[in-house]
Amino acid sequence: MPYVTVGKENSGTIDLFYEDHGSGKPVVLIHGYPLSGASWEKQVPALLDTGYRVIAYDRRGFGKSSHPVTGYNYDTFAEDLRRLVTRLELHDLALVGFSMGGGEVARYLGKFGSQDVSQAVFISSVPPFLLKTANNPEGVDGSVFDGIKKAVIEDRFAFFSEFFKNFFNTDLLLGKRVSDQVVQASWNVAAGASPTASLACVNTWLEDFRKDLAQIDVPTLVIHGDADRILPIAASGLRTAKLIKGSRLQVVKDGPHCVTWTHADQVNRELLAFLGESWMDTQPSRERIER
């Protein structure tokens, strides 16, 4: 199994597990919390069939990557991604981030620029800035995140069970767009994550990406469900699209947080169309994906 070393912790190395398949233009897929690169199951075949090289990796603390007790902040996550990009000598790549993975996309471009990146995609993503502050009144009160951390500390396994109900909107979509088995499989992956990472990553959701988004100068697609209960579209997707010059917004009607599974056909269609377009074709456009 391929790994890239991104650091050291005491006597051991910190290694990221990744999968690298296909050929052609590289597309790097960055997963959400509390899953792994395997969560792109619905997107990888579509990308490979269209002729892309697909790289999906596990963030530190998750999946098959190392589980250190340090490095849970977006500067480090972006540096981890940079080491992967450098190791694989990737150029003209597209960065695609889901949920927490959107933070890596934003911070990577804000920190390292777009020299090797030609396109960016944010799906149900955490930017621009979730925490409510004096200069960010649209954010969420900090007590909400304190409650999440308390729940993770007390019983992260029980927390994950409740989390995935809103991740997939199971009260509305179970048996229609998602099965019990998919929800259970997601829980299984989450249960295997580092306890440290499961807690520490909650604080990373409060990082401010507004300056990072303002620096993005590549064609950008924002996909977000209008029924997202984890990251409501008004606090995240709509604002992200406004802050990135020339970005394209695609709203998934009745889409929950994990539209990459529940609405995979629509997401894949829009993702592939965007990846196949040039800069001029991606200038301001606002469309709605219908069920």
Question: What are the tokens at 146?
Answer: 């304190």
Q: How many Cα neighbours within 13 Å face the side chain of 226?
A: 11
pLDDT at 184 over 70: yes
Question: What are the tokens at 158?
Answer: 């029980």
Domains and CATH numbers, the chain: 3-289 (3.40.50.1820)
Dihedral angle of Cα 79, 83, 86, 90, to the nearest 10 degrees? -80
Contact by Cβ (8 Å): 16, 80 = yes
Rounded Cα distance, 102 and 202, in Å: 14
Confidence at residue 64, expressed as pLDDT on a 0 to 100 scale: 98
Mean local confidence (pLDDT), 28-35 = 98
Catalytic residues, which ones? Answer: 99, 228, 257
Alpha helices in the chain (DSSP H): 44-49, 74-87, 101-112, 142-168, 170-173, 180-191, 195-204, 210-214, 237-243, 259-262, 264-275
Rounded Cα distance, 80 and 145, in Å: 25
Q: If DSSP codes are grouped into helix, strand and coil, which group holds residue 16?
A: strand
Rounded Cα distance, 32 and 175, in Å: 23
Looking at every residue in the chain, the average pLDDT score rounds to 95
pLDDT at 280 over 60: no
Contact by Cβ (8 Å): 16, 60 = yes
Mean local confidence (pLDDT), 157-169 = 98
Confidence at residue 150, expressed as pLDDT on a 0 to 100 scale: 98
DSSP state of 174: B
Confidence at residue 95, expressed as pLDDT on a 0 to 100 scale: 98
Using CB atoms within 10 A of its CB, is residue 288 exposed (0-12), middle (13-18) or buried (19+)?
exposed
Angle formed by the axes of helices 142-168 and 180-191, nearest 10°: 140
Confidence tier at 1 by pLDDT (50, 70, 90): confident
Contact by Cβ (8 Å): 139, 47 = no
Tens-place pLDDT, residues 128-139? 999 999 999 989
pLDDT at 288 over 50: no
Tens-place pLDDT, residues 169-179? 999 999 999 99
pLDDT at 284 over 80: no
